[in-house]
Amino acid sequence: MTTTKLATCLICGASDYTVNGQNPQWSILTCNRCGLAFVYPIPEMAQIMELYPADYYAHREAVTRRPTLRADLKRMVASEIYDLPLPHRFQSWQSWSKKLIAWLLRYQMRIPPPRQGQRRVLDVGCGNGTYLLWLRELGWECYGNEIDTGAVIEARQAGLDVFHGDLQQAGYPVESFDIINFSSVLDHTADPLGNLREAFRLLKPGGEIIAHCPNFASLQSQLFGQNWYNYIPPEHLYYFPPNTLMAIFEKAGFRVEKLWHKSPTNFLPHTLMYRTRARRWFNPLKEHYHIEPEWSILAKSIFAPFSLIQDALGRGETIYIQGRKPVSSR
């Protein structure tokens, strides 16, 4: 494998590592100073792009091109919080029920409709464009960036302006966006710091950046180690604990405003069913009956309390971070 060399930790510059896993092609190193873990050696971009198979989930048709209950519920949340038009099927619902659902699903609205003076949003790692289509409904002028060829084809067929390639290759004009969203990208890219610095260049002063990625310090990561759902080297190149995610944002020039956790309810059953000895009980369901147990309503209901406890303890599966480019960045 042709590789690039990484002599020091991307976050703190240390060169003292612990080897947590390895095979003949790569190792997983964890920095003993800050806790960042990463694949070493880092593959070249062409090799990274080969990691995504033809049936990768991002190749699917953008779901908001079809009416779905989930999409309509998000529109109802937007109507309650931001006074946008209400989907027809909910117009007869009682006011209290709409307000309750809007409160329960408010996390779906991490990017609100554009405020006065805002206009352009960039979604880095936009996949097939599903999230961009939703943002377009809210009133944003949308742009996307994606390295996967199949996903780019789907997004463009949906009428979206998507650049095919790494963010640092896109060549967008300086200070051209109001919000930049990194959709589970920083753990997949060979140069997360370089991408964040490019995002800093592209944001207008006062512009906002939002990102999310797996939490290497989550309870499930600590419990299951290499059997953890999100332990997928070399597809996942970097593994960030919360302190390292905050540090890399600050190193790129951003002011961190908020950090929170969210644990999808299917992660734990997926780990138990396919990454541990319990898989021998569940594999027949998938092989013979085409049932995906980790996605069932029953599994989600059983494991939902554990997800809520993880998040409340600050040890959730996914880290969300929100930062801002200072108005005076010089």
Q: Which residues pair with 29 in a beta bridge?
A: 19, 38
User: Tell me, what amino acid is at 114?
Assistant: P
CA 146 – CA 155 distance, rounded (Å): 9
* Number of Cβ within a 10 Å radius of residue 109: 17
Query: Do you know the residue count of the chain?
Result: 330
The alpha-helical segments, DSSP class H, found in 69-210 are 69-82, 95-104, 130-138, 149-157, 167-170, 192-202
pLDDT at 76: 60
CB of 249 closer than 8 Å to CB of 180: no
CB of 222 closer than 8 Å to CB of 309: no
CB of 199 closer than 8 Å to CB of 167: yes
- Residue 41, preceding peptide bond in cis (omega within 30° of 0): yes
Percent of the chain with pLDDT over 90: 37
Nearest to 21 by CA among 241, 313, 221: 221
CA 203 – CA 212 distance, rounded (Å): 18
CA 251 – CA 48 distance, rounded (Å): 25
Confidence grade of residue 65 (pLDDT, cut at 50, 70, 90) = very low
pLDDT, tens digit, for every residue of 99-142?
Answer: 555 555 555 555 565 666 678 999 999 988 988 988 887 788 99
Q: What are the residue ranges spanned by the domains of the chain?
A: 53-165
The alpha-helical segments, DSSP class H, found in 225-313 are 242-251, 267-274, 279-289, 297-312
Work out the average pLDDT over 220-227.
Answer: 88
Helix (H) or strand (E) holding 124: strand 120-124
Measure the CA angle with vertex 257, ends 255 and 258; round to 5°.
Answer: 140
Q: Please, what is the end-to-end C-alpha distance for the chain in angstroms?
A: 41
Confidence grade of residue 16 (pLDDT, cut at 50, 70, 90) = confident
- Residues of the chain by 3-state class (helix, strand, coil), percent to 5: 40, 20, 40
3-state secondary structure of 48: helix
Using the predicted structure, report yes or no on whether residue 198 has a pLDDT greater than 90. yes
**Structure tokens of 128?**
């097939």
pLDDT, tens digit, for every residue of 236-249?
Answer: 899 999 999 999 99
Do the bridges between strand 120-124 and strand 141-146 make them parallel or antiparallel, or are there none, so unpaired? parallel
CA 186 – CA 166 distance, rounded (Å): 12
pLDDT at 326: 95
User: Tell me, what amino acid is at 65?
Assistant: R
